[in-house]
Homo-oligomer: A and B are copies of this chain.
C-alpha cells in the first residue's frame, strides 16, 4: 500500500470503470503492472468490488428513512441481525454504542411500504421499540474523502 496504490484506489473510487491503460498513464507504469496491483488490492480486500451508482428515485425508491432500534433485555443480537438482513429494503445496518443499538437506512417506493416495513422490524423478537425518521432530502451520500497518508498501513500489505 504505497503512494501508487493509493493513487490507483483514489482513481477507481472516483470512476470504477477507469481502464488499466488509463490508470497506467496516470501513475506512470504499464498496464500489466497496474493490473497486477489492482488484483492484489482486490485480494487483500482493500478493493471490495465495483458498483454502478444508481439514482434511487429513478428506480422507484423515492422514500429514504432511518430506523433506530431499541432492544429489550432478552435480545439475541445474532438472531436480530439475521432477521434484519433478510429484509431487502434495509440498505445499511450499523450496530451502535447507545440506547438505539441499531440504525437502519431503508428505501421504499411508497409510504405504505415504509409502514409495513416498520411493523415488520418492530415484530422481530428482542426489538422493544423502533424510532423512524424520514429523510426529506439527501444532501449527499457516500462521498469519498482522500485516503489519509499517515504511514499506518494497518497490517494490510
A contact residues, range = 35 or more
CB distance from A36 to the nearest CB of B (A): 16
Q: Which residues of B contact A6 (CB under 8 A)?
A: 59
Number of copies: 2
Interface residues of A in 88-120 (CB under 8 A from B): 88-98, 100, 102-103, 107, 109
What residue of chain B has the Cβ atom nearest to residue A88's Cβ?
B145
Determine if A15 is an interface residue (Cβ-Cβ < 8 Å): yes
Chain B residues positioned under 8 Å from A138 (CB to CB): 92-95
B60–A133 contact, CB under 8 A? no
Q: Does A12 make an interface contact (CB < 8 A)?
A: yes
A28 within 8 A of B: no
Interface pair A96/B15, CB less than 8 Å apart: no
CA distance A34 to B136 in the complex (A): 35
Binary contact track A120-144/B, C-beta < 8 Å → 1, others 0: 0000000000000111111111111
A26 within 8 A of B: no
Let me know if A49 and B60 touch, CB within 8 A: no
Partner of A52, one of B9, B55, B102: B9
A32 contacts the other chain (Cβ, under 8 Å)?
no
- Proximity bits, A55-91, B CB within 8 Å = 1, else 0: 1011111101010000000000000010011001111
State the Cβ distance, A67 to closest chain B Cβ, in Å. 12
Give the interface of A toward B (CB within 8 A). Answer: 1, 6, 9, 12-17, 44-55, 57-62, 64, 66, 81, 84-85, 88-98, 100, 102-103, 107, 109, 133-148, 150, 152-154, 156
